[in-house]
Chains A and B, each alone.
Chain A
């Protein structure tokens, strides 16, 4: 017999356990359930200052849902009846209208009537001027992108009247509207932001990093943010357009991908983000779940640092391009949620062409090129992949085995995310997998400027005098047909010289419960807008 006290203790434990076994609250129980969307996200937001934001997906998604900018992508109906935000057609957002005058040297934007910030303050031309003054004073990423489109500084932005603002464009160019249609151009409320501007922090970056209260202009406002737990959007009562159908969006941080999957399958969340491709394939069979797939213009490639031997040797880069396992990667690693990349300019971007692409997995040809490159007996290479990305790990393994068949011995070096990003941005990586770059402006010159020429993002240090010259001459050219020819020539050279190993363009996948509708895709910024979503 157990001692009496012990029996009592054990009994207590059982009672404690039983107490937790009550009926679990299930989705759909609350009366306002149809108005609330619960989303399981993989990670937290970081830095919400629109003009100097961190580049992670959920930060940018939040900015896109709670702010508005002057000009945005036009909604168009596609042949397959799906509506998308066209990446190359623009319409007013906060702007009622906009037009170029003076042969493209001026852009005049007229605001809608009666615009308000989320706290009820009026949004007029002075707020627009304040926003652009701050943006140029801060001199961060958005300022650089605006200058790239030849709006050169504070003096280029002029208030015409209460509702009209004029932007002076130093050189007319095709980039401006695309560079302005994004979160960096969110109009800020001077009454709210100005008090946070100090001598030490003249752009109020510290405040805007984690606060938006009173300055939201989008369909939602940021109702709450518990770092590491959840962030919640609620309807912005002062939004200018029709109110969103979903009144609240709860974005709950669930770091483990299999937990997110289980939550979606059981119906405890309406949407699960960032699932593993294999799980997404599995979900195709689930009756209660819709798997929305969208083709992207994201480029994913193997980088080969053209300044570091042996990769400064074009023949060697070509040899590796003939050894790489293209179809295996799309089929096995991406489980079909991707399509082949055949040029530095992705499919879906104007002037893209695949006619110059010649590479296929051909170990014999790779060996021949390897001998021509001066490595008749093969060679040893170190390949860097990201330890925190499943697809990067998978690709490393397939690359190793495919290159081995061409006589190249690959050692895999896994790097943690932070270290990888740091080395990537210093252009220190030699042979690596770049998981994906998206150009928010769907323009080939914008795209190749950043990836093949800019100081920041030409991660492989690739350069070719003819490409450099073409980018310099045509990036802001308005001669569209000469520009298209130049883009084709750039693609031809970059493919021929094997600037990268061109791998794939991943699909963007959004897995939702069946009753969630109104998923509208924006190929330009690949961010989802909860504004359009419905729940039946």
Chain B
């Protein structure tokens, strides 16, 4: 994996030196910079240095921010974590019950609503929805603060404990910062949650319908067990398995950085970090980001596997 990213970043046209050197520098000065950053070494040697560095927890130094990549990731991660976790919680709290109701009362208005949400959520581009919401909620109606990051420039950020502003401001008993952070979160979270509700509601509905029409549920119905306890006791847990997988995919995807939303809301998260790194040919930063995204996916899927074992006794060996 690290080898693939390493090669891919090198194959891209351009070099980080073009970004940091003055246009007036001579080839000799450029070469001096290449030597300074070790970019004149053979590729295998650069790769070996990189891998050895990873072993020590050193992901290299970013060309664009001049900071160690590991520290950059650490600094940009909380913004993305706060944004996506809030969004995924809200999407789950809305999407799963919606899908469930749709399946249980098939053909009712809830069911239609689920289908509309699923289609609209997939069809509406995120950037369009973001711009419309910014225009209405901030620019026209002044209901929400300006989309410039996580806090208004005049608010003193709470002392960093977790990096999550909502939690840090609560721990610091700073109501002003909490309200400001929540206000800034609201729009991007709404947009992301809206996009995530669609797949969650759809898969909840489908899988619940599948389970409800499966033989074991038919048998429980034949036995005369009350409908409500069939749904909650026998169907729900089974139906949740594919939902959990979908949840993991969506969450991993969002945590990997949602470039569009982070750009439109000037959100200092990993999506934007990665985007800047790619457009600036910042090799170490791109490699570090991909490594991080891979680890996040692995971590989430391990977690899902554990939850599977809890939900589904058949998985236990």
Contacts and interface: CB of A to CB of B under 8 A. Distances in A.
Interface in B68-88: 72, 75-76
A52 B37 CA distance: 14
Nearest to A207: B66
Interface residues of B, number: 69
B76 A228 contact: yes
A392 interface: no
Given A29-B154, A419-B14, A140 B25 contact: yes
B24 A450 contact: yes
Contact of A262 (B32, B139, B182): B139
Interface stretch (A81-89, A128-136, A421-429): A421-429
Contact of A228 (B138, B139, B272): B272
Interface in A281-340: none
B179 interface: yes
Contacts of B66: 46-47, 206, 209-210, 227
A144 B153 contact: no
A185 to B, nearest CB: 14
Given A2-B101, A24-B143, A266-B138, A259 B22 contact: no
Contact of B153 (A145, A230, A421): A230
Interface stretch (A247-255, A472-480, A510-518): A247-255
A409 interface: no
A227 B142 CA distance: 29
A140 B28 CA distance: 9
Given A2-B101, A388-B279, A417-B279, A457 B22 contact: no
Contact of A455 (B26, B94, B131): B26
B279 to A, nearest CB: 6
Contacts of B76: 228
A139 B29 contact: yes
A422 B138 contact: no
A456 B273 contact: no
Given A418-B18, A418-B279, A22 B154 contact: no
A421 B14 contact: yes
B23 A425 contact: yes
A12 B272 contact: no
B245 interface: no
Contact of A258 (B131, B143, B179): B131
A36 B154 contact: yes
B134 A262 contact: yes
A36 to B, nearest CB: 7
Interface string B33-58: 00010000000000000000000000
A255 B176 CA distance: 26
Given A227-B72, A262-B139, A425-B23, A25 B154 contact: yes
Contact of B148 (A9, A55, A210, A263): A263
A256 B264 contact: yes
B18 A456 contact: no
Contact of B183 (A2, A6, A24, A27): A24
A210 B71 CA distance: 14
A259 B265 CA distance: 8
Contact of A457 (B23, B142, B176, B268): B23
Interface size of A as a range: 35 or more
Contacts of A210: 65-67
Contacts of A258: 131
B206 interface: no
Contacts of B13: 415, 418-419, 422-423
Contacts of B15: 422
A26 B152 CA distance: 9
A16 interface: yes
Interface string A255-289: 11011001101101100000000000000000000
B168 interface: no
B155 interface: yes
B55 to A, nearest CB: 22
A228 B273 contact: yes
Interface string A123-163: 00000000000000001110011000000000000000000
Contacts of A44: 64-65, 276
A2 B113 CA distance: 15
14 contacts: A21-B143, A36-B153, A44-B276, A54-B19, A54-B22, A55-B23, A201-B36, A255-B272, A259-B134, A266-B139, A269-B146, A415-B13, A418-B18, A456-B24
Interface of B: 12-15, 18-27, 29, 32, 36, 63-67, 72, 75-76, 90, 93-94, 97, 100-101, 131, 134-135, 138-139, 142-149, 152-155, 176, 179-180, 182-183, 185-186, 190, 228, 232, 263-266, 268, 272-273, 276, 279-281
The 9 closest A-B pairs by CB, nearest first: A20-B186, A422-B14, A227-B65, A418-B14, A419-B13, A24-B145, A210-B66, A268-B146, A141-B22
Interface of A: 2-3, 6, 9-10, 12-13, 16-17, 19-22, 24-27, 29-30, 33, 36, 38, 40, 43-44, 46-47, 52-55, 139-141, 144-145, 201, 205-206, 209-210, 226-230, 250, 252-256, 258-259, 262-263, 265-266, 268-269, 388, 415-419, 421-423, 425, 450, 454-457
